[in-house]
Amino acid sequence: MQKVRKAIFPVGGLGTRFLPATKAMPKEMLPVVDKPLIQYAFEEARAAGIEQFIFITGRNKNVLNNHFDHSYELQKLLSEKEKKDLLALTRDWLPEAGQIAFIRQQEALGLGHAVWCARHFIGDEPFAVLLADEMILSPKPFLKEMVEAYGKKKASIVGVAEVAKEKINQYGIIDAEKEQDGLMKIKGMVEKPAPGQAPSNLSIIGRYILEPEIIPYLDKMLHVKSSGGEIQLTDAMAEMVKKKPFYAMKLKGKRYDCGSRKGFLEANIAFALARADMKNDVREMIMEFAAEF
């Protein structure tokens, strides 16, 4: 059985829900508290044992590449001033040379297309996919749990969470059997179902462990644009579910959809409250706001 060593970070989307912030800046560079979304996702993947990090980028995304590189001027200055803590924040978390690769998705044709763009890097290994704009706060590192479950099941796994009824039509939704040993066997899935057509309220949350067999299914989807006129990863997974065992793992924690304004604000508050150095100040600030409005 192969270890999950590779992770794909699709960051080629246009982020239209977050305009004007995303006009010239990638959505994945938006900071939650003081760190860009993409760095959280990268650190989450590394903590789950991932060794190779593959970013699917597009035009206007060069700032993303730069964030994962040295910043010599800044580092020199901070080192001369002996600002060790700040130096660590710019440098100490960087991947090793050769661990990170960037693939250009020339056209933003959808998440399925973005993952397909990584096919030559994926080869015949299982791999993780992380959507950086979906942030997760959970007692146990969720992707790590998924990677461990893959080790036992040797089958694809998607992360899911319950979603409010009125939001069901914004996400990929699964139809699954009852949970057993922390996993649900998936019977089917559908991207952004019309109201009343959803098989459940369990939405896919931007964390996937996929077997390389997904690639031929994505090949077949290249000419099938579905929800939103995009090539959807969910459509390819829905076809694969018919032939191969596929599981869902329910998140024991909270996810924040940072691609939406409300989700992004929530994430900023939740992540600030989760930090020992900010918790008290933020709590006080919220109390003041609540009393005022």
Q: What six digits make up the tokens of 27?
A: 């959505």
Query: Considering beta carbons, is residue 9 or 246 the nearer one to ligand UTP?
Result: 9
13 binds ligand UTP (CB under 6 A): yes
The angle formed by the CA atoms of residues 236, 64 and 60, to the nearest 5 degrees, is 80
222 binds ligand UTP (CB under 6 A): no
Q: What six digits make up the tokens of 268?
A: 């900023």
8 binds ligand UTP (CB under 6 A): no
Distance separating alpha carbons of residues 41 and 8, to the nearest angstrom: 10
Residues 45/130, Cβ–Cβ less than 8 Å: yes
The angle formed by the CA atoms of residues 53, 19 and 222, to the nearest 5 degrees, is 50
Q: Which residue is nearest to ligand UTP (CB)?
A: 13
Tell me the backbone φ, ψ of residue 241, rounded to 5 degrees: -55, -30
Query: Considering beta carbons, is residue 11 or 147 the nearer one to ligand UTP?
Result: 11
Nearest distance, CB of residue 66 and ligand UTP, angstroms: 17
Stretch that binds ligand UTP, among 71-79, 110-118, 195-203, 275-283 (CB under 6 A): 110-118
10 binds ligand UTP (CB under 6 A): yes
Distance separating alpha carbons of residues 98 and 118, to the nearest angstrom: 16
Stretch that binds ligand UTP, among 9-17, 139-147, 159-167, 189-197 (CB under 6 A): 9-17
Instruction: State the helix-helix crossing angle for 37-47 and 142-153, rounded to 10 degrees.
Output: 40
Task: Find the binding residues for ligand UTP in span 259-288 (CB under 6 A).
Answer: 259
Residues 134/207, Cβ–Cβ less than 8 Å: yes
Query: Considering beta carbons, is residue 103 or 278 the nearer one to ligand UTP?
Result: 103
- Region of 250 (left: φ > 0; alpha: ψ -120 to 50; beta: rest) is beta
Nearest distance, CB of residue 229 and ligand UTP, angstroms: 11
Residue with tokens 């982020």: 15
133 binds ligand UTP (CB under 6 A): yes
Interface residue with ligand UTP, options 111, 143, 176, 204 (CB under 6 A)? 111
251 binds ligand UTP (CB under 6 A): no
* Site of interaction with ligand UTP (CB under 6 A): 10-18, 27, 56, 105, 108-111, 113-114, 131-133, 259
